[in-house]
Amino acid sequence: MSTQDPLPERPVVDPDVDLSLPAQRAETEGPGKWRVLAVIAAGGAAGATARYAATLALPAADDGFPWAIFAVNVTGCALIGVLMVLTVERGRITHPLVRPFLGVGVLGGFTTFSTYAADVSGLLARQEVATAMVYMGATAVAALGAVWAAAALTRALADRRGRTA
């Protein structure tokens, strides 16, 4: 029986790791952890600012469908699909701070579950049950569809580019 760690030799590139595995704790220990924290904070500020700008550009009426947050969450999920293919699956972006900055920071700050939940709660409080149910279901389906479609398209484009290079 082998006692070797089955984890790949590649370094971990994000802070949301399984901390019970010693091989995955490396970037959250030592002086380098502050760089990771700094890029996550900077990315989070940029993502949250972009989300706020989207809500200003596409404000919801008091009794309307929350289109801005719907669009933000679906777009963010699509971008996460692209990022995961390029960083995790294909290893095309290998700098160790890219995924924490873009994935955890920018896209984590851009997408929002709390505002989504507050929007649903507000719709229900105004007795707009049908709109709340459509919003809940449509967000889940569209977000999952977006991450899947974006990942599939990114894979196809990467494969095509690899054949022509």
pLDDT value at residue 12: 45
pLDDT tens, 26-60? Answer: 666 677 788 989 999 999 999 999 999 999 999 87
Could you tell me which residue, 37 or 22, shows the higher pLDDT?
A: 37
Number of folded domains in the chain?
Answer: 1
Q: Is residue 122 part of a domain?
A: yes
Residue 151 belongs to what domain range? 22-164
Annotated binding-site members: 108, 111
pLDDT value at residue 140: 97
Closest CA to 111 of 137, 146, 86, 85: 146
pLDDT value at residue 22: 64
pLDDT tens, 68-127? Answer: 999 999 999 999 999 999 988 888 777 888 989 999 999 999 999 999 999 999 999 999
Q: Is residue 14 part of a domain?
A: no
Please say if the pLDDT value at position 61 is more than 80.
no
**Cα-only R_g, the chain:** 19
pLDDT value at residue 75: 98
Please say if the pLDDT value at position 149 is more than 90.
yes
Q: Is residue 12 part of a domain?
A: no
Q: Is residue 10 part of a domain?
A: no
pLDDT value at residue 90: 83
Q: Is residue 13 part of a domain?
A: no
**21 confidence band (pLDDT: 50, 70, 90):** low
∠ CA 16-22-27, rounded to 5°: 50
- Measured CA to CA, the distance from residue 111 to residue 92 in angstroms comes to 24
pLDDT value at residue 20: 67
Q: Is residue 143 part of a domain?
A: yes
Annotated binding-site members for Na(+): 108, 111
- Measured CA to CA, the distance from residue 14 to residue 40 in angstroms comes to 10
Q: Is residue 56 part of a domain?
A: yes
Q: What burial class does residue 3 get, using C-beta atoms within 10 Å of its C-beta: 0-12 exposed, 13-18 middle, 19+ buried?
A: exposed
Instruction: Tell me the average pLDDT of the chain.
Output: 85
- Arithmetic mean of pLDDT, 122-146: 96
The one-letter code for the residue type at 51 is: R
Closest CA to 97 of 20, 8, 10, 15: 15
Q: Is residue 37 part of a domain?
A: yes
Could you tell me which residue, 98 or 5, shows the higher pLDDT?
A: 98
